[in-house]
A and B are shown apart, each in its own frame.
Chain A
Amino acid sequence: MRNPLADLTIPVLDDLIESDYVRSLIVGTVGVLGVLLVFGALFPETVVGDLSGIVFSTSTAASTSRLAAPIVLAGLGGIFAEKSGVINIGLEGLLIISAFVSVYVASVVGIGNTVLGVPAIWVGFLGGIAASTALAGVFGVVCIEFKADQIIAGLAVWLIALGLAPFMSTVFFGGVNTPNLGARIGWRYSATMVVVATVASWWALNRTAFGKHLRAAGENPKALDTVGISVSKVRHAGVLLSGVLSGIGGSALALSIGQFIGSGETMVQGKGFIAIVAYLFGNYNPVGTLGAGVLFAGLDATQIRLQQLGYAVPDTLVQTIPYVVVIVVLALVGRTRLPEAAGEHYETED
């Protein structure tokens, strides 16, 4: 019998137009940066010079990687979930819960103490990942076992975390913001984790049997079922992975400052939604997601630095760019194609 999986088309790699799209994004970004570098070197006393100085400075790199970590990591998680057929719109909630729990666990252990030789801040980091994974697990059960509407359940995950994190912060610390830990994780760690996670995700999605199963669960679950692999299990794995990756992102976000801020939209401030933007913009390609995440975070970091130099940049408008970009991209450039069976429940035929 022929393997039904052999007939699956893999949109990201096989579709020439799609890969052209990612390639043109990369070329465009590199091109703009190159022009900026050349003009910056030629006219160092102008705005371009300042801009070039900012874009290619270490401090901008540091803040870019700090801002990009939650976006890219949650975006990668979103790819795993959505490729498996579960649209995870609750990434924002996963980031919030891991950001809070990481700080909480680190403060419970106490900075300076270790658990089994692991310093408190890294114990907190793991705690954040565990919390996010647990919440993603609940989301997975609700969506896959109880057949909940994925969009609504995802919104619920966001709203629960948005209420629960400040609630717990008030219970434990007496205010929606936690006190500062007095210790933090350097930006080089975040940058390394982002790059490693991107490469690993790409490899897992495109070069492993698991990746193939994951894509099959989202594109053609029946085919996967036919070869005797449980669609539910694969989807659970996809959702849990989105929890793990978002957990890394949320912990990195909070611990790079050493504090959780829970007022308003919390310190996550829509980064989970930007993550969705990033992976749609990157067309479900981890490398594209990294590019989009760095681009958005870089815009933000550059804007912050420009303001520090005294340029009146409308910061709110700069922060609006990613959202507008994704609408334009969805409408005009690449009609990002959702996996065929994403959002649908799959019933095993016994």
Chain B
Amino acid sequence: MSRSDGGSADGSGSDRVPSIARRVVTPFVDRSVAERLLISVAAILLSIAVGFAIVLVSGRVAQCSTAAWTMPVTGLGFCYDPFEVYLVLFNGALGYPFAIGEPGLFDPSWTPFNLSFGLTLSETTLLIFTGLSVAVAFRAGLFNIGTQGQLVVGALATALTVLAAAPFLPEGPVAGAVLIVVGTLAGAVGGGLWGAIPGALKAYADANEVITTIMLNFVAANVAYVLVLEVFRAEGSSVVATRYVPEYAQFLPWLFPQSSDFALLALLVGVGFIAGLYYLVEHTSFGYDLRTSGMQAAAAEYGGVNAKLTTVRAMTLSGAIGGVGGSLWVLMSEGRWMASVPDLGFDGITVSILAGNNPLGVLPAAFLFGLLKGGALEIGFRTDVPTELVGVLRGLIILFVAMPEFFRMFGRYAGIGSSGPGGSGGSESSAANADDDAAVADGGETDA
């Protein structure tokens, strides 16, 4: 599969093998986007394959009373069933819409408004914001590893603002709406300020933003922890956390179960952010400044762009989006700020890279990671396989996406292979086309 993806990514290979994918894709998107898409899909498939091997090997080494899966032909028993793992992962993340081992493909009693799917979408929503945060900075040529810290600061700002403002307003839905808006703004300001620090350091002191953002992540986590521990800790709480924000100031879980921590409205806001940022980056003069200073800082400066100011603005914007992600984490998922903030910011890096740093790509990439996160819980419930597998998959995906040259090389190799005389190459190329179609189908969903 990866060979075909690489094959069509490589120009010379596809001259020999006229690809349906190319003809379908070219009118809509330019080639680099199509190539990125293919590489992302190939990277996901390759990670799944490597994860499969890891499950297989560890299933052989682990000890159990009965084998969960027996390999055909060899008769070797394995403690973990690698097929079941992925079935549970993806099917479970959606709330088991597919009936397995029963007649019919779909389970008729399935509705999209179930707990598991809600959890998946909840993760997706949060990852949209962290992914966008990283993507915006990337487009300006800045590697913001600090989204995690910006999210932590934004979340704390939101929680404290809402807690402080709540007593001044009468309880009710109107006050709730006001508090949500004010809290989200506070998150954006908090995250934005925290993001502006590395931006300013980069612009005016030439300090590498990769290093400073990593360091600021630790600083944010530690300082927020101490602040809450010493000053804002809820009375009688066994964990380091603030008080809960009032119920009416949290996003309401329309249609979905309360415990899924998911609000459709928040997802819609996320989609709105995607559209807004796409417009901002691609169709405004600020977006133009951003992109040019990302691609060619010197040329941008020559063309009249204030590169230093653009750097600070880009990092502030990036931080503000990360901060809004933190707001939603508080107002949608947790209802309070607590010390064990999940790695949403780091996952945002993976999401952004997988999306090719394109705001539009963030939606499917965030959904994929939402699936992985939601599915991890199901793996824990239904199988013996350690849920840390999902962490490994995350790392593998980011590793493979980072090495497009690998797929290009593989594509060149495959291109040579399929250019062989006559029929021998024919079957291969048709198989390649079939795979490309699958990739395009994914792509169609991407842009929708």
Contact = CB atoms under 8 A, between A and B. Distances in A.
Interface string B148-167: 00000000000000000000
B438 interface: no
A318 B201 CA distance: 23
Contacts of B212: 327, 330-331
A152 interface: yes
B299 to A, nearest CB: 19
Most buried by B among A161, A170, A172: A170
Interface in B316-351: 346, 349-350
A159 B388 contact: no
Given A167-B389, A167-B391, A335-B205, A152 B402 contact: yes
A273 interface: yes
Contacts of B388: 163-164, 166-167, 170, 176
Interface in A169-197: 170-172, 176
A327 B402 contact: no
Interface string B212-236: 1011101100110110011000000
B30 interface: no
Contacts of A176: 388
Interface in B119-144: 143
Given A160-B392, A171-B62, A172-B62, A273 B218 contact: yes
Contacts of B208: 330, 338
B219 A320 contact: yes
A160 B394 CA distance: 7
Contacts of B229: 316
Interface in B81-128: none
A162 B391 contact: yes
Contact-residue size bin, chain A (C-beta under 8 Å from the other chain): 35 or more
Given A142-B399, A171-B58, A316-B226, A323 B215 contact: yes
Contact of A146 (B216, B226, B406): B406
Given A146-B405, A327-B201, A335 B206 contact: yes
B355 interface: no
A157 B398 CA distance: 9
B392 A167 contact: yes
A156 B399 CA distance: 5
A157 B402 CA distance: 11
Most buried by B among A160, A270, A277, A332: A160
B405 A324 contact: no
Given A142-B403, A146-B403, A314-B226, A330 B214 contact: no
B46 interface: no
Contacts of B350: 159
A201 to B, nearest CB: 21
Contacts of A299: none
Given A146-B409, A153-B403, A331 B386 contact: no
A320 B210 CA distance: 18
Given A273-B214, A317-B222, A330-B201, A159 B346 contact: yes
Contacts of A156: 395-396, 398-399, 402
A306 interface: no
Nearest to B206: A335
Contacts of A89: 210, 214
B143 A172 contact: no
B402 A149 contact: yes
Given A330-B212, A331-B205, A152 B409 contact: no
Interface in B164-216: 201, 205-208, 210-212, 214-216
A288 to B, nearest CB: 16
A156 B406 CA distance: 16
A155 B398 contact: yes
Contacts of A161: 395
B143 A151 contact: yes
A161 B61 CA distance: 19
A319 B222 contact: yes
Interface in B27-51: none
Nearest to A162: B391
Interface in B347-397: 349-350, 353, 386, 388-396
A273 B392 CA distance: 20
B391 A153 contact: no
Nearest to A343: B210
B395 A160 contact: yes
A147 interface: yes
Nearest to B197: A327
A162 B395 contact: yes
Interface of B: 54, 58, 61-62, 143, 145, 201, 205-208, 210-212, 214-216, 218-219, 222-223, 225-226, 229-230, 346, 349-350, 353, 386, 388-396, 398-399, 401-403, 405-406, 409
9 contacts: A152-B401, A155-B346, A155-B398, A156-B396, A163-B389, A172-B62, A270-B218, A330-B207, A330-B211
Given A167-B58, A171-B61, A332-B205, 14 more contacts: A148-B406, A151-B145, A155-B398, A156-B395, A156-B402, A160-B392, A163-B389, A163-B393, A166-B388, A273-B218, A319-B222, A320-B219, A320-B222, A323-B219
